[in-house]
Structure 1
C-alpha cells in the first residue's frame, strides 16, 4: 500500500490546549472565526461548528443534530456572539445528521441561503425518505451477508427512520458547491475541496488568506473517521477513495490551522494525514494475516477493533470491516467466497 507521508518532523499541536467551548460559549480561533460546540446523543458526544464573520453578518458552517437542545443553544448564540447581526449563509460539509440535522430549522429561523454539494444534498433527502437503498433494511441485509448473526443484529439497525430522528427536516432549496469553487465570506475566498470515503461528496473549506482549513470529518486530530460500505453501494471501495482524496490537502502549508468536526482545533495537518495512512496500513496488515483462513467481516471485528462496542458502534464497525476487506480484494490480496447461504468470506491468496 502506497504511503502518502507528509512532514515526518511535524507534530500535532493544539493551540488552545485542553480548552473547548462550553454550551453556549463561542471561542475565537482566528480573526473572524468562532468555535462552538453542540451535544450529540452518542459515544462521540459533541460536534464542532463554526461561525465565520461575513461583512455585516455571519456564515455558519455545519448545524448540529436536529433536536430541541441544539435549537436552544443556537438561540443563545444568536443572542450572544451574533447578536443583532444576520446570518447570511449556511454551509454544510456533508449529509450526516450531526452536520445537517438543524439546517432546516436554521434556514427557517434566519432565511439564509443553504449551501451543500449535490451528492450530499440528495443523499440527505434519500436517507430521510428511506429512498433508493438508503433504508436500514438494505444495509442490514448487507451485514448479514457479511456474517453478522441475526441474533446480534443491533436494535438500532432494525428500527426504521433512524436518520430522521436527527434530521427532522431538510431545506427544499439549496445552492450547489463543487470542487474548486470559491465562496466569498467576509472578503476572503474559501475554496471548496471535495473529499470521499466517509461521505459521498464531503466538502472541506480552505481559506489561503487566513491559512485555515475546515476539515469536517475527513481529518480529525485523534480518532479516525468512519469509512464504511453501506447497503446502497454494497460493492464500493470507500477506503481507497478516502486515502486517495486525502492527497487533495497535500498542497496546504504545514502550519495550516485545522478546524475539525470533533475533538480540538489543531496544527499538524500533514503529520495527521501520515498517521491516518499508517493507521489503515496496520489494520490492513492485521486483517490480511487473519485471512489465512476464510473469514467474514463479522469475524474480522476483533482484528480491527479492540474495544467493546455498543449497538450503534457495531453497525459502523461492520461497514468498516467490509470496507477494509474490499480494499484488500481490489488489491488482489484476498479472494471472496460465497457459500450456499449467501454469506461472504475472504481468504488470502
Structure 2
C-alpha cells in the first residue's frame, strides 16, 4: 500500500454480525458448531479476556491458545477440562503466536497431558529467546532505542525495572514442538484446518481456516472491535512490520472467503470478514497519511502520539507508553521505507522525522 491512491474523507465502520447473544463466562464453554467450543479466560489488564477454542479431535480435544500464566488461569483450565461435554484428554495444544496471553499455559498443558505443542517456527523460537531474558538487565541497545525515540529518564528507569518479565507470564516452554507452516492442511478430528500465516503483529502468526465448517480462527490478526498492535521492537529497530501487517490483511482477504464465521482472540465471534479487513486497511492508510502531513516540521517519535492515537501518553504509564512507541516507530519506518520521510539524529542521538 502506498499513499498515492485516493484516500476517502471518512472511513465508515462496517456493520458486522454477531450471531451469539453473549460470550461464555470465564471458565465456561459455548458450542460454536458441533465439535468446536468457545471458551474465555480472564486477563489481568485493560483487555480483560482472551478467547480460546477446543476442537473435537480423535481421542480427545485439541485446544487453540491457552491464556496467560497466573493462578486464576490455572484454576479456570481445571474447571474447563472437567466441564467439557465429553471429558477427554487434550490431544495437542496449538498456539497462534507467542504473546503471553496466547502461549502462557502451553507448557503446563502439554506436560499435564503428554501432548505436543504446535506452533510456527518463528513464534516458538522467538518465545524461547524472550523467555531467556528473564532476570537480565535491560541491554544497552534497548536503552539506545528508547532514547532515540525521545523517552525521558523517568520512563527509561521504569523500563529498566520492568525488563525481563516476559518469562514470568508463561510456563516454561516444551523443549520440542510440531512446526506449523503456511498453507499446511492439518486434520483435527473429522475436519481439515488450513494454516494461514500473517505477520506484523507478531513474527509468524498462524490463523486456522476450516472450509468445511466455514470457520476462521483469526487469533490477533483480525479483531472485530479493536485493531491489533503493530510495533517495532528494540531487537530489530529498522523493521517494517506495518508493511507486513498490511500485506497480511490483504492476504487474508484473498485466501479466506467472506462467508466464514470469524473466531477472534478478543471480543466476540463475528461475520463480515472482508468488510472488517477493508476497514482496517483503509483506516491504517488514513492514519499514515495524517502522520505524513504532520511531518512538515521535524518531530520525534514521542511527538506523534497525539496524531496517531488522539491523546497524549503519560510517561508514567509504562505499558501504554511502550505500545505507543512501538506502533509509532512502525508507522514512521513505513513512511521512511516509502521514501516519503527522512530520519536524522540530533547531537543527543534523538531521531527526528520530516517529510521529504
- Taking structure 1 as the reference length, the TM-score comes to 0.93
1:22 to partner: Cα distance: 0.6
Deviations, residues 284-328 of structure 1 (Å, cap 9, x unaligned):
122112111000111111111124653211101100000000111
Q: Does 1:311 align with 2:315?
A: no
Q: Does 1:338 align with 2:345?
A: yes
**Which among 262, 286, 295 is matched to residue 282 of structure 1?**
286
Match of 1:230 in 2: 233
Q: Does 1:43 align with 2:50?
A: no
Match of 1:325 in 2: 332
8 Å CA contact 1:15–1:266 kept in 2: the answer is: yes
8 Å CA contact 1:154–1:314 kept in 2: the answer is: no
8 Å CA contact 1:219–1:225 kept in 2: the answer is: yes
8 Å CA contact 2:106–2:171 kept in 1: the answer is: no
Q: Does 1:219 align with 2:226?
A: no
Distance 2:138 2:270 in 1: 36
1:81 to partner: Cα distance: 1.1
Judged with a 3 Å threshold, the aligned counterparts in structure 2 of structure 1 residues 9 and 161 are, in CA distance, closer, same or farther, namely closer
SS of structure 2 residue aligned to 1:267: coil
Q: Does 1:106 align with 2:109?
A: yes
1:1-349 aligned at under 5 Å gives the runs: 1-2=1-2, 11-17=15-21, 19-81=22-84, 84-130=87-133, 138-153=141-156, 155=158, 158-249=161-252, 250-307=254-311, 309=313, 310-349=317-356
Distance 1:200 1:278 in 2: 23
Structure 1 residues without counterparts, runs of 5 or longer: none
Distance 1:33 1:307 in 2: 40
SS of structure 2 residue aligned to 1:337: strand
Structure 2 residues without counterparts, runs of 5 or longer: none
1:187 to partner: Cα distance: 1.8
Distance 1:329 1:37 in 2: 40
SS of structure 1 residue aligned to 2:217: strand
8 Å CA contact 1:229–1:323 kept in 2: the answer is: yes
8 Å CA contact 1:154–1:312 kept in 2: the answer is: no
Distance 2:336 2:259 in 1: 37
Distance 2:150 2:102 in 1: 31
- Taking structure 2 as the reference length, the TM-score comes to 0.91
Distance 2:85 2:113 in 1: 12
8 Å CA contact 1:127–1:135 kept in 2: the answer is: no
Deviations, residues 236-268 of structure 1 (Å, cap 9, x unaligned):
000000000112212322111101111110111
